[in-house]
């Protein structure tokens, strides 16, 4: 029985752009946007909440197609 | 037997129709069967969504359909995101979401933990606890209105009995301080069983041998709870929190039935503001933009929810 393992082809996908990590970042952005929408401290934070949530959601949709 | 029947059916099929059927591939047949559902989905879900996105950039008013529709660009979004009243409505929603989720999670998990002890009659009590969840929100809203009545309401009498305050002074729905709590109590009463069910599923998924190993190591009950029960049930609790968060963020029916957003605007959550703008002020373009903002918030939360669900599935 051969013990030689077939060599795994190294993916050229950058390691920093892995799905798990990027999804976590997108989730954090959505959560920050959500907090900005609800916080009672500054109207300016509320004003930018929608853009933040939209950016997080768009990022989540894109990065969920990335390889693991 | 089955082949013979199929042969008979094939022979009985008229030749032109048989030719047509033979011409459709499996994939084509699959598309043929699901196309009515897809068309329905496009008509009821996708088209209104894109129509609302289009309207959100205009000054369209549904009560003036013949008026010229002007393109306002991002003006509706800027107005909403700079409006103090909408901001306050968001804070009211946040207050409501925070307290309902906190109460539902704590009570729901405690109930699930107790039911999981499998005491005598636990199946009966599980059914009893699940009853509020099965009722229609319209029914729940109406009978809680009666319960909250200062003159005849049972709730007011119970509060009066416990605190000594006259029942006519317990104005749950018309008092500025109490009205938000009246809605929180009803929502907690109705949806705690749902959280309990999810937590129960989480508790039942913990293998018994882990507890047995902990017993061998002489871990106390408290230690077992903190080191085994809570961490292993946590993904399920997270799931329940996210699901209730999404639902309560869109909450409309109960608030509309109990207080209608009042007294004043103390219980005016985002969905009530949206309804007022859309069907009382008839600012359809403005309210469409508001709906899109809420949609993005819910969609973002739903993404987190799916991620949490996948984590639970991996276990």
Q: Of A27, A50, A57, which has the smallest distance from its Cβ to B81's Cβ?
A: A50
What is the pLDDT, as a whole number, of residue B153?
Answer: 86
Which chain A residues touch B296 with a CB distance below 8 Å?
50, 53-54, 57
What is the pLDDT, as a whole number, of residue A56?
Answer: 94
| Cβ neighbours for B89, distance < 8 A, ≥ 6 positions apart | B265, B268, B269, B270, B272, B273
Flag if A30 and B90 touch (Cβ within 8 Å).
no
What is the pLDDT, as a whole number, of residue B19?
Answer: 65
Alpha carbons within 13 angstroms on the beta-carbon side of residue A30 total 26
Distances (CA, A) of B96 to A33, A53, B26, B304: 18, 21, 51, 20
Ranges of each domain in chain A: 27-68
**Is residue A58 predicted with pLDDT exceeding 90?**
yes
Q: Which residue of A has its CA nearest to B94?
A: A38
CA dist B148 and B307 (Å) reads 40
* Cis peptide bond N-terminal to B263, omega within 30: yes
The arithmetic mean of pLDDT across residues B200-225, rounded, is 91
Flag if B300 and A40 touch (Cβ within 8 Å).
no
CA dist B62 and B286 (Å) reads 11
What is the pLDDT, as a whole number, of residue B25?
Answer: 82
Query: Are B287 and B56 a contacting pair, CB within 8 Å?
Result: no
pLDDT band at B144, cuts 50/70/90? very high
What is the pLDDT, as a whole number, of residue B186?
Answer: 94
Counting residues of chain B whose pLDDT is more than 70, the rounded percentage is: 97
Flag if B87 and A43 touch (Cβ within 8 Å).
yes
How many Å lie between the alpha carbon of B155 and the closest alpha carbon of chain A?
31
Q: How far, rounded to the nearest angstrom, does the alpha carbon of residue B69 sit from its chain's CA centroid?
A: 35
Q: Of B82, B97, B297, which has the smallest distance from its Cβ to A53's Cβ?
A: B297
Provide the phi-psi class of B300: left if phi over 0, else alpha when psi is between -120 and 50, else beta: alpha
pLDDT band at B263, cuts 50/70/90? confident
What is the pLDDT, as a whole number, of residue B74?
Answer: 92
Q: Of B91, B293, B304, which has the smallest distance from its Cβ to A40's Cβ?
A: B91
Ranges of each domain in chain B: 2-40, 77-314
How many Å lie between the alpha carbon of B294 and the closest alpha carbon of chain A?
9
What is the pLDDT, as a whole number, of residue B119?
Answer: 80
CA dist B74 and B80 (Å) reads 10
CA dist A18 and A15 (Å) reads 6
**Is residue B115 predicted with pLDDT exceeding 80?**
yes
**Is residue B21 predicted with pLDDT exceeding 70?**
no
Residue range B158-198, pLDDT digits in tens:
888 888 888 788 888 888 888 999 999 999 999 999 999 99
B238 versus B13: which is more confidently predicted? B238
The arithmetic mean of pLDDT across residues B106-120, rounded, is 90
Assembly ipTM? 0.83
Phi, psi (deg, nearest 5) at residue B58? -125, 175
**Is residue B220 predicted with pLDDT exceeding 70?**
yes
Q: Which two tokens stand for residue B62?
A: 């549904």
Q: Of B93, B94, B300, which has the smallest distance from its Cβ to A53's Cβ?
A: B300
Which chain B residues touch A23 with a CB distance below 8 Å?
307
Find the range with the poorest average confidence among A7-11, B137-141, B261-265.
A7-11
Phi, psi (deg, nearest 5) at residue B134? -85, -15
Flag if A34 and B303 touch (Cβ within 8 Å).
no
Q: Mean pLDDT over all residues of chain B? A: 88
CA dist B189 and B165 (Å) reads 23
Residue range B22-74, pLDDT digits in tens:
677 888 889 999 999 999 999 999 999 999 999 999 999 988 888 888 999 89
What is the pLDDT, as a whole number, of residue B48?
Answer: 94
Q: Which two tokens stand for residue B166?
A: 């006259």
What is the pLDDT, as a whole number, of residue B1?
Answer: 57
Which chain A residues touch B297 with a CB distance below 8 Å?
33-34, 37, 53
The residue written with tokens 């008509």 in the block is B43
**Is residue B313 predicted with pLDDT exceeding 80?**
no
Q: Which two tokens stand for residue B247?
A: 């639902």
CA dist A62 and B293 (Å) reads 20
Phi, psi (deg, nearest 5) at residue B107? -70, -45
| Cβ neighbours for B272, distance < 8 A, ≥ 6 positions apart | B89, B252, B255, B256, B260, B261
What is the pLDDT, as a whole number, of residue B216?
Answer: 92
DSSP-derived letter for residue B263 is S
3-state helix, strand, coil in chain B (%, to 5): 75, 0, 25
What is the pLDDT, as a whole number, of residue B78?
Answer: 94
Answer yes or no: CATH 1.10.1040.10 is held by domain B77-314.
no
The counts of H helices and E strands in chain A are 3, 0
Q: Which two tokens stand for residue B114?
A: 């107790």
How many Å lie between the alpha carbon of A20 and the closest alpha carbon of chain B?
10
């Amino acid at each position: 029985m051969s013990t030689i393992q077939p060599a795994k082809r190294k993916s050229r996908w950058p390691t920093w752009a892995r799905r798990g990590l990027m999804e976590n970042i997108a989730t954090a952005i959505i959560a920050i946007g959500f907090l900005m929408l609800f916080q009672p401290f500054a109207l300016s934070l509320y004003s930018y909440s929608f853009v933040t949530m939209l950016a997080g959601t768009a990022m989540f949709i894109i990065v969920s197609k990335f390889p693991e | 037997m089955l082949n013979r029947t199929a042969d008979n059916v094939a022979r009985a099929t008229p030749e032109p129709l048989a030719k047509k059927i033979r011409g459709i591939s499996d994939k084509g047949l699959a598309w043929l069967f699901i196309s009515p559902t897809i068309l329905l989905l496009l008509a009821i879900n996708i088209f209104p969504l894109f129509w609302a996105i289009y309207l959100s950039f205009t000054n369209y008013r549904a009560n003036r359909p013949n008026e010229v529709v002007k393109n306002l660009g991002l003006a509706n979004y800027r107005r909403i995101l700079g409006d103090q009243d909408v901001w306050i409505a968001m804070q009211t929603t946040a207050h409501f979401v925070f307290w309902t989720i906190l109460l539902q999670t704590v009570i729901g998990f405690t109930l699930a933990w107790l039911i999981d002890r499998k005491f005598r009659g636990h199946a009966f009590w599980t059914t009893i606890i699940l009853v509020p969840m099965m009722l229609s929100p319209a029914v729940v809203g109406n009978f809680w209105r009666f319960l909250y009545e200062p003159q005849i309401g049972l709730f007011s009498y119970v509060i009066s009995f416990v605190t000594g305050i006259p029942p006519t002074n317990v104005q749950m729905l018309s008092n500025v301080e109490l009205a938000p709590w009246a809605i929180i109590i009803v929502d907690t009463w109705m949806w705690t069983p749902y959280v309990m069910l999810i937590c129960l599923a989480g508790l039942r998924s913990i293998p018994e041998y882990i507890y047995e190993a902990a017993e061998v190591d002489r871990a106390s009950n408290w230690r077992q709870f903190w080191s085994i029960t809570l961490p292993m049930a946590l993904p399920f609790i997270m799931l329940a929190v996210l699901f209730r968060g999404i639902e309560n963020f869109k909450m409309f029916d109960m608030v509309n039935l109990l207080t209608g957003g009042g007294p004043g605007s103390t219980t005016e959550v985002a969905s009530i503001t949206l309804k007022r703008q859309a069907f009382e002020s008839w600012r359809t373009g403005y309210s469409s933009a508001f709906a899109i903002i809420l949609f993005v918030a819910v969609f973002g939360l739903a993404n987190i929810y799916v991620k949490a669900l996948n984590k639970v599935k991996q276990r």
